Amino acid sequence: AQTVTQSQPEMSVQEAETVTLSCTYDTSENNYYLFWYKQPPSRQMILVIRQEAYKQQNATENRFSVNFQKAAKSFSLKISDSQLGDTAMYFCAFMKPNDYKLSFGAGTTVTVRA
Amino acid sequence: SAVISQKPSRDICQRGTSLTIQCQVDSQVTMMFWYRQQPGQSLTLIATANQGSEATYESGFVIDKFPISRPNLTFSTLTVSNMSPEDSSIYLCSASPLAGDNNEQFFGPGTRLTVL
């Protein structure tokens, strides 16, 4: 099984500020997929952003962007212009190609303060 | 995309009983999965629900404890058998609509199970 590590259990950010969540992973695969999922208090898991390992360009989705460092096996998520609705638990996840099974990190609870 | 519903949304059960959780997808999907999430914790994959064949279980999970059915491409059930308080968790169903390069998984809202 792949190991996904999120070393920040909790983070707090002021509304409109930027916060960066860290994620590292361990794999011997050359090609794979990485994801960030958001789970608000409602429990609904929502895909925030995905990155294919064979793509060098970092993925961006509106206020969410990633810093993918393949050699370092690092996949951090930056939330810009934080909004109160961003308050949630964020999970980093890894998937091998043609496997479709997700390995999740422990999660980071993000609280956006008004 | 896929919209996934689960029933029940929550339940409180007595130890020694069994509970069956239903997962319904609004479109045909290739892959369906069941995860367990203990309160405040991460998600752990229980098994892959295979259409027309036995589910594939991850290490630490067995069919006798977590029997799974998948009679068609839009529906699956997970049964938690002979429950104990340690089974108290959120159980989530997920689905991946397409094979190939699009590996996005969609999740149901989860079933919160409390075992007394």
Average pLDDT, chain B: 92
A84 contact B CB<8A: no
Interface probe for A, chosen from B6, B101, B103 (most Cβ of A below 10 Å), is B103
A74-81 mean pLDDT: 98
Under the banding of pLDDT at 50, 70 and 90, the label for residue B102 is low
Under the banding of pLDDT at 50, 70 and 90, the label for residue B5 is very high
What is each CA distance from B94 to B5, B20, B36, B46, in whole angstroms?
10, 16, 11, 11
Q: What is the pLDDT of residues A5-36, one digit of tens each?
A: 999 999 999 999 999 999 999 999 999 999 99
Q: Is the Cβ pair B103, A97 closer than 8 Å?
A: yes
Query: What residues have CB less than 8 Å from A28, skipping those under 6 apart?
Result: none
Per-residue pLDDT, B98: 63
Interface probe for A, chosen from B43, B89, B102 (most Cβ of A below 10 Å), is B43
Residue A98 has pLDDT above 80, yes or no: no
Q: State the nearest Cα–Cα gap between A100 and chain B, in angstroms.
A: 6
Q: State the nearest Cα–Cα gap between B84 and chain A, in angstroms.
A: 23
B86-116 burial: b if 16+ Cβ within 10 Å, else e? ebbbbbbbbbbbeeeeebbbbbbbbbbbebe
A62-80 mean pLDDT: 97
Under the banding of pLDDT at 50, 70 and 90, the label for residue B40 is confident
For a pLDDT cut of 90, what percent of chain A falls above it?
85
Per-residue pLDDT, B69: 95
What does the radius of gyration of chain B's CA atoms come to, in whole angstroms?
A: 13
B107 contact A CB<8A: yes
A76-103 mean pLDDT: 93
- Tokens 């409180």 correspond to B12
Residue A1 has pLDDT above 70, yes or no: no
Q: Select the residue of A97, A100, A105 nearest B31 (Cβ to Cβ).
A: A100
Q: What is the pLDDT of residues B66-99, one digit of tens each?
A: 999 999 999 999 999 999 999 999 999 999 876 5
